[in-house]
């Protein structure tokens, strides 16, 4: 296959490109600078410009674009940047894929489309979008793929959880704190923390690229949901560090503002029904197996 990847320089993109190449696929990377390698092709989503040679003969495209939602405090300006970094590139790529006749588009979105106020209710892909900034962002992000879907492109809408990797991602933030013995749960800890290992995030993308029966929403989360309190205890055990602290809700709200209520103190109890029904086999079916693999010196850290 020839796979075009937008957002190839991030945590997921770097791992995905490497995995696709190990599988023997050709990868064309879209970059927002002067191309510096034969597999790089320039694009400028803000100007709706894309080097069409990248899509020539392509079998699929994967869109991983989007600024990190916890890069800084959520000001009005930053929230607009979050929208612009996702919706505009998706719209441009979906239109280009439709025009070029690329048969598959995989768009990486977020599981927070379901909103945070879902409590203990189990959420699969049939659930309706929730409310709040993140839910609206994710809904509009998915809607930007409409040009591809309207052209008959098999469009997969990944709804990803928090990606666990040895370096970077969520654990890149938490591991130093836990290593100092100051790890702890957030608020009452009863909110769910939708997670997935980097290996399974990449595995899920590879799976949906080749399974012609998968289209529409796909929850890219681990099959065994955990609460924040359970996540905290499991991470403490994996790092062999105590987790005595509780970060009160009011402290989180004061420190990080709206992001606390949208994504830290709330989270959906999402399950990956579509992946499991399409026979995807999780490398890390539980949080414990994921953390053990990540922090075992003999593991590969994926």
Q: What digits encode the pLDDT tens for the residues 86-133?
A: 999 999 999 999 999 999 999 999 999 999 778 889 999 999 999 999
| Integer angstrom CA distances of residue 213 from 242, 271, 274 | 45, 19, 10
The first and second tokens of residue 191, run together, are 């909110």
Q: What is the pLDDT, as a whole number, of residue 297?
A: 56
What's the pLDDT score for residue 176?
A: 82
Q: Is 73 exposed, middle or buried (0-12, 13-18, 19+ CB in 10 A)?
A: exposed
111 vs 123: CA distance, rounded Å: 10
What dihedral do alpha carbons 80, 81, 86, 88 form, nearest 10°? 80
pTM (two decimals): 0.93
Q: Are the C-beta atoms of residues 114 and 191 closer than 8 Å to each other?
A: no
pLDDT tens per residue across span 163-203: 999 888 778 878 888 887 778 899 999 999 999 999 999 99
Q: How far is CA 95 from CA 105, 149, 199, 230, 244, in A?
A: 11, 10, 30, 42, 51
pLDDT of residue 300: 52
Query: How many angstroms separate the CA atoms of 234 and 164, rounded?
Result: 13
What are the b/e assignments for 213-237, b being 16+ CB within 10 Å? ebbebbbbbbbbbbbbbbbbbbbbe
Predicted local distance difference test score (pLDDT) of residue 153: 98
In DSSP terms, 2 is beta-bridged to 26
The pLDDT value given to residue 229: 94
DSSP H helical ranges for 101-197: 133-143, 146-150, 169-179
The pLDDT score that the predictor gives to residue 171 is: 84
Give the chain's residues under pLDDT 70: 297-302
Residues constituting the chain: 302
User: What's the pLDDT score for residue 149?
Assistant: 97
What are the chain's domains?
A: 2-295 (3.40.50.720)
**Any idea what DSSP says for residue 55?**
G
* C-alpha atoms less than 13 angstroms from C-alpha of 71 in its C-beta half-sphere: 11
């Amino acid at each position: 296959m020839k796979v075009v990847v937008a957002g190839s320089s991030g945590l997921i993109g770097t791992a995905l490109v490497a995995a696709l190449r190990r599988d023997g696929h050709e990868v064309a990377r879209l970059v927002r600078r002067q191309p510096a390698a034969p597999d790089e092709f320039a694009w400028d989503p803000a100007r709706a410009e894309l080097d069409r040679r990248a899509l020539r003969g392509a079998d699929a495209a994967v869109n991983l674009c989007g600024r990190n939602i916890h890069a800084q405090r959520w000001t009005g300006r930053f929230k607009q940047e979050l929208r612009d970094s996702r919706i505009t590139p998706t719209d441009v790529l979906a239109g280009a894929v439709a025009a070029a006749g690329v048969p598959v588009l995989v768009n990486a979105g977020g599981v927070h489309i379901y909103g945070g106020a879902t409590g203990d209710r189990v959420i699969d892909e049939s659930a309706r979008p929730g409310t709040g900034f993140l839910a609206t962002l994710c809904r509009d992000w998915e809607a930007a793929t409409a040009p591809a879907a309207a052209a008959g492109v098999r469009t997969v809408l990944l709804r990803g959880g928090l990606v666990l990797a040895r370096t970077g991602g969520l654990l890149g933030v938490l591991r130093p704190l836990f290593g100092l013995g100051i790890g702890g749960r957030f608020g009452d800890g009863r909110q769910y923390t939708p997670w997935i290992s980097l290996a399974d995030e990449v595995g899920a993308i590879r799976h949906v690229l080749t399974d012609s029966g998968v289209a529409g929403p796909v929850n890219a989360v681990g099959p065994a949901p955990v609460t924040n309190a359970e996540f905290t205890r499991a991470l403490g055990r994996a790092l062999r560090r105590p987790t005595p602290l509780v970060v009160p809700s009011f402290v989180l709200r004061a420190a990080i503002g709206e992001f606390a209520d949208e994504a830290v103190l709330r989270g959906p109890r999402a399950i990956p029904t579509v992946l499991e029904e399409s026979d995807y086999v999780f490398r890390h079916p539980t949080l414990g197996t994921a953390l053990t693999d990540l922090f075992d010196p003999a593991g590969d850290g994926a």
